[in-house]
Structure 1
């Protein structure tokens, strides 16, 4: 029997289950009470559930003309290649002069892409930094900050876009484990923010800096935990009007096709977002019980729940608030998110760029913006998306690290 967490609507009548759990279930109108009976608050009673898990990885096909031409983008927009043959471009950053940077974690480089004739296609590419497992990029006060697994570097930006020799600021970030891809940005407060994912799918972390967002001074000093209970928040940023910090966290795998949904969280100092014990709208993770004498309910009471959720296993990556002038006014201050795509699901989801609508400074819904990277009846793909950034000309750039392409959406 396949269970859907806290949303079970059927009535259990099985005498086998009744005897196994030693309680009588007459009806399941109260979903919360029903589910709590299967995940008790303490380990004095057995915890049991059945989860149906899948591994499905669509085949990879080329990003050829035919595949790119069938991409679907919101009416009034067009999508085309900005650059290709790039290896595995991941996080994107754009300078105030329109220079485009991309990290390639596997190659351990930062690339500079320039469009000198302003035709929407990069005509020059060069490597401007060599750093093992370089991933997170951000530009602050005309300096490039680069985050690797354990390190953070800073380099001066020259007028032509090249970088000085990177200087090491931090060398003791936690080891990566399952989630080694650090991202970095500076907030309106001038502080450095670093994401540090979990080492595992779901487990108590021995290092208190894993599964967190860290905050530090501009030079990397004074580092401390800003928020915790975040499995892997790659994409985050500050709403341009409210200054509030928002991020998208990756859900736990192996809870079924539709669990755990990806979370949109308002990120606040000192908040705990529940991982690995509480997820989604306050659900209990049956595989990991709070440690010590703490019950699930007690942990739930101190957990900050998401403001919005998205299809499980979509794998949200970089996120960018739109601040350009090319798109219609209603796009201003909405966010774009690269959904990398699923592997732990029977039918693939993600593999797209989505728009997160904000109203009165709060996220309210998602809609597809660029789709079509799944082809051959969803049996193959030609892009898994990672980076997203607004270009100075107002277009939107996003990267694929499977076929080595950066795409551009324009009016």
Structure 2
């Protein structure tokens, strides 16, 4: 069992610039617009990481899901599974960044559990995965690969499409998806918690042709957007962005953004509903107010430090989830470390009305145990099976879980 990390209280005094704003997490904050005056802010930050315990049958049995739903292990002993993709035939593919593998899992007898497992690719630091027009696309820190999917589910020879994505730094978890426009979208996180990036492609979502050509910065100012997808009715792109650490227990909240071409989302200078980040300051003579004026604020916010990872809009077939789940999103929250009381460690449902998010409810909870001092699951990847059931990964205990509806 991993030891508990002690709670560490960190108080930082930052010298910097911007417009005066005092928030409940910034003590005596003075943030002027320009560096003609000093900036100061005292911030209390906390570290608490629950201990890791085994995903025993007894612990799995106490997981909580809405009435009529059932959860069980689809596969385990997978070391550190991350992102998922599912083929039309029901083949499940999962990446492991740590192992550098793509694994194929099959449920050949339809009992809701994988009974065949096969490593179908070895690629260092592979993370993002998607299937588009019958081909597999995989992304590492700097590369994008494409491969044919053979009739038995294995992969053909890989073709290198891109080899010069930005360095990973603090956030090397690239993800990939194809939009209704048939174009490739790639997430590229920041190299740091909050800093001025020398490479304009960091802290962005990129867009390219399916063969990797004509790459552009689609949206910027996104600290670390991993989970994203297109609303089935509106075709609008939504993404979950990780908030800045070390701004206190309740800040920065995680953001659900409608991602638009050419839009800027504020990082590293603006966060939340228009708050100024004390450090770093805007470059040169630029003021916070000028940056705020061009910032697109989040469409919805969620509990700080919950660490959103995967997002899928539910479009299950008949026999899947109840009709009310159609076109809502399900998202994984891997869980906090920069907070006194843990947040995340769960799967949530994002309710959409008229194409816009209106609230977020718990969907799978119970991974935190022993009065929140331990956990046995940190959800990451998420996908739906052809039968309408839901899969999500846990990269701590090496489990893929399946959630089904059987009223």
Shorter-chain TM-score category? over 0.9
CA distance in 1, matches of 2:86, 2:27: 47
Could you report, residue by residue, the CA deviation over 1:87-146 in whole angstroms, capped at 9, with x for unpaired residues? 111001110111111000000000000000111000010001110000000000100000
1:409 aligns with 2:407: no
Structure 1 contact 129–166 (Cα < 8 Å) conserved: no
Counterpart of 1:89? 81
Q: Give the 3-state SS of the residue equivalent to 1:165 in structure 2.
A: strand
Structure 2 contact 23–29 (Cα < 8 Å) conserved: no
Match of 1:379 among 373, 377, 381: 373
Counterpart of 2:235? 243
Give runs of ≥4 in structure 1 deviating > 4 Å.
Answer: 34-37
CA distance in 1, matches of 2:38, 2:199: 29
- Report how far residue 37 of structure 1 moved: 6.8
CA distance in 1, matches of 2:77, 2:279: 43
Q: With structure 2 as the length reference, what TM-score do the two structures score?
A: 0.92
Aligned length: 384
Correspondences of 1:8-19 after superposition (within 5 Å):
none
Can you give the 5+ residue segments of structure 2 that lack an aligned partner in the other structure?
Answer: 1-8, 10-19
Correspondences of 1:12-411 after superposition (within 5 Å):
38-325=30-317, 326-411=320-405
- Report how far residue 286 of structure 1 moved: 0.5
Structure 1 contact 128–162 (Cα < 8 Å) conserved: yes
Q: Give the 3-state SS of the residue equivalent to 2:44 in structure 1.
A: coil
- Report how far residue 303 of structure 1 moved: 0.3
CA distance in 2, matches of 1:50, 1:329: 49
CA distance in 1, matches of 2:157, 2:194: 38
Structure 1 contact 355–369 (Cα < 8 Å) conserved: yes
CA distance in 2, matches of 1:152, 1:100: 20
CA distance in 2, matches of 1:35, 1:264: 27
CA distance in 2, matches of 1:251, 1:266: 16
Structure 1 contact 55–343 (Cα < 8 Å) conserved: yes
Q: With structure 1 as the length reference, what TM-score do the two structures score?
A: 0.91
Structure 1 contact 383–403 (Cα < 8 Å) conserved: yes
Structure 1 contact 337–353 (Cα < 8 Å) conserved: yes
Structure of greater Rg: 1
The structure carrying a bigger strand percent of its residues is: 2
- Report how far residue 35 of structure 1 moved: 9.4
Structure 2 contact 127–175 (Cα < 8 Å) conserved: yes
Could you report, residue by residue, the CA deviation over 1:290-312 in whole angstroms, capped at 9, with x for unpaired residues? 11111101100000000000000
Calculate the aligned-residue CA RMSD, in Å: 1.7
